[in-house]
Amino acid sequence: MNYSVVACLRKYTTKALLVAFGVVSMSNYAFSQDKAKGEKTYKAYCQTCHQANGQGTPGVYPPLAKSDYLTSQPKDKVIQSVVYGLSGEITVNGKKYNGVMNPLPSNYTDKDVADVVSYIYGSWGNSGTAVTEADVKAAKASYKKPEGGGRRRKG
Ligand code: HEC
């Protein structure tokens, strides 16, 4: 068997496993569907900085995998960081970061935000909780502009 056939089979096996996973978790079906959508958004947008495995980039982009910062923040604060951006010094797993995460582009819907936050909460060994569209709406409604920080206009 030549290499390309092996590579092709591997790809196919991964897909089959993903499908099998979906079927096995029937009881959690709606959640895993949303998680799959969250994963898509993660791959399209967040992964550039936080990496596919959520490890981030040492000293530049903080990890999301097993991030003590992520787990210690209330859910609405995490949603607000994703929607409105985050800057200033933070400590994640004992390392300091002082970067800027831009607001999420406005073409992403509240549902997209709910799905992607559910995805990071439920991946890489993080203790997952599902985030709903209603949670996102509530977090937006209670958002207070940070001192001296810019707030994205609602639109
Ligand atoms: C352009 C790079 C970039 C992208 C894209 C990005 N982030 Fe971030 N993110 C950062 C930086 C930089 C910080 C740290 C900000 C600081 O130092 O205050 C951060 C911090 C965070 C934090 C809090 C810190 C932690 O590690 O727990 C979370 C949660 C987070 N990002 C989630 C996301 C999610 C979800 C997405 C996609 C919707 C995303 N980020 C997209 C750069 C990025």
The CATH number fitting domain 29-141, selected from 1.10.3720.10, 1.10.287.70, 1.10.760.10, 3.40.920.10: 1.10.760.10
Nearest to 119 by CA among 128, 111, 110: 128
Nearest to 113 by CA among 132, 126, 129, 128: 132
Distance CA 43, CA 95 (A): 25
**Could you tell me the pTM of the whole model?**
0.80
Q: Pocket around ligand 1: residues whose beta carbon is below 6 Å from it? A: 45-46, 48-50, 61-64, 67, 69-70, 78, 81-82, 86-88, 90, 92, 97-101, 104, 116, 120
Distance CA 4, CA 14 (A): 15
Residue carrying structure tokens 């290499």: 3
Ligand 1 centre to CA of 52 (Å) is 13
Cβ neighbours of residue 29 closer than 8 Å, sequence gap 6 or more = 22
Q: Closest residue (by CA) to atom 7 of ligand 1?
A: 101
Q: Note the pLDDT of residue 155.
A: 44
Q: Note the pLDDT of residue 127.
A: 85
Tokens for 10, please give them: 């591997």
User: Mutual orientation of helices 133-141 and 110-121 as an angle, nearest 10°?
Assistant: 110
The series of mean pLDDT values per 10 residues for the chain, 155 residues long, is 62 64 55 84 98 95 97 96 97 96 97 97 90 97 74 50
